[in-house]
Amino acid sequence: MTNARFDRYVAPARARPQLWRLVGGVVLIGAAYLLGVMAVFAGAGFALGPERAQRLAASLAAPDTPAAVLLLLATFPGAALGAFLAVRLLHRRAPATLFGPAAAVRRDFAGAVAITLALAVAYLAAWGLAFDPVPNRPFASWLGWLPLLLVGLLIQTGTEELIFRGYLQQQLAARFRAPLIWMVLPSLGFAVLHFDPSQPAFVNAYAIAATALFGILAADLTRRTGNIGAAWGLHFVNNLLAVGILALDGSITGLALHVTPYDLAGIAEHPLLLLADMLATLVAWAVLCRLLGR
């Protein structure tokens, strides 16, 4: 299932593919993420005062204000720094090798964003035939926050792609030939991180299934293109839709223009929506493979 582009993408990881280095890298990424979170909360406490910062931190379970959403997105750069340190210190290669060729990353990211946005508009139009979106933020206010949201989502989605489709996929592909390992294992790890013990079992089952599917499709885009640009663009638009355009009621709604007329519990009354969401992801992947993956 490999090709010349993916082989070139994985090549820098082949020099030091030992599993102990990979395990150490995962530990380093986790530690850097935790330190980054602590630094963000410390900065919030210094800027806002302890009581306001504590209330803001408590709201991260369901961020319903712009400040809470931006604080949540601000917790991700530490993990990206951890990935950069892992490849530099443990694998002796340049952090830029996590991305792939710069020109290809820019081209595939821009292409994936444009294509997925067009498909998202079609999806929202079809969704609007069955449901009425609930206004959440005034348009002028939403537009004012949009640049910060875009930057935050760019960092958040880029960090996750660097770790799961960059670092983990590269290092596992350098060590193992079986796609079941280097495509599926990082995707399952990505999915498990979306488990929420406070939610009903069916919600977690859907979240894990949908996220694992997304991870596998993003891994395949990375395999086909030899860089993380297409997967990053798909991920970016997916999260922009879910956080900035039409958020699920009761989820991350603080910067959403609209929210759905149903929440996590009510979504069980519309099981076809779950299939429609996964089908939309499959359609986006198929179109991106056709247009970018050749």
Query: What is the rounded distance in angstroms from the CA atom of residue 261 to the CA atom of residue 241?
Result: 16
pLDDT in tens, 130-169: 899 999 999 999 999 999 999 999 999 999 999 999 999 9
DSSP, collapsed to helix, strand or coil, labels residue 98 as: helix
Tokens of 205: 């089952």
pLDDT of residue 56: 75
Q: What count of other Cβ atoms lies within 10 Å of the Cβ of residue 29?
A: 24
Query: What is the rounded distance in angstroms from the CA atom of residue 83 to the CA atom of residue 93?
Result: 11
Q: Which of the residue ranges 4-18, 58-72, 154-168, 220-234 would you say has the lowest mean pLDDT?
A: 58-72
pLDDT of residue 267: 73
Query: What is the rounded distance in angstroms from the CA atom of residue 170 to the CA atom of residue 133?
Result: 41
Chain-wide mean pLDDT for the chain?
A: 92
DSSP, collapsed to helix, strand or coil, labels residue 135 as: strand
Query: Which residue in 245, 217, 241 sits closest to 231, CA to CA?
Result: 217
pLDDT at 10 over 80: yes
The pLDDT > 70 percentage for the chain reads 99
pLDDT in tens, 92-142: 999 999 999 999 999 999 999 999 999 999 999 999 998 999 999 999 999
Residue 164 is part of which domain span? 4-292
Q: What count of other Cβ atoms lies within 10 Å of the Cβ of residue 150?
A: 13
Q: Which residues pair with 136 in a beta bridge?
A: none
pLDDT in tens, 223-271: 999 999 999 999 999 999 999 999 999 889 999 999 999 887 777 677 7
Query: Which residue in 197, 217, 222 sits closest to 207, CA to CA?
Result: 197
Instruction: Please count the structural domains in the chain.
Output: 1
pLDDT of residue 266: 72
Query: What is the rounded distance in angstroms from the CA atom of residue 71 to the CA atom of residue 56?
Result: 8
For 86, the enclosing helix (H) or strand (E) is helix 77-89
For the chain, the straight-line distance linking the first and the last C-alpha, in angstroms and rounded, comes to: 14
Reading across the β-sheet that carries 134-135, which strands appear in turn?
A: 134-135, 258-263, 246-249
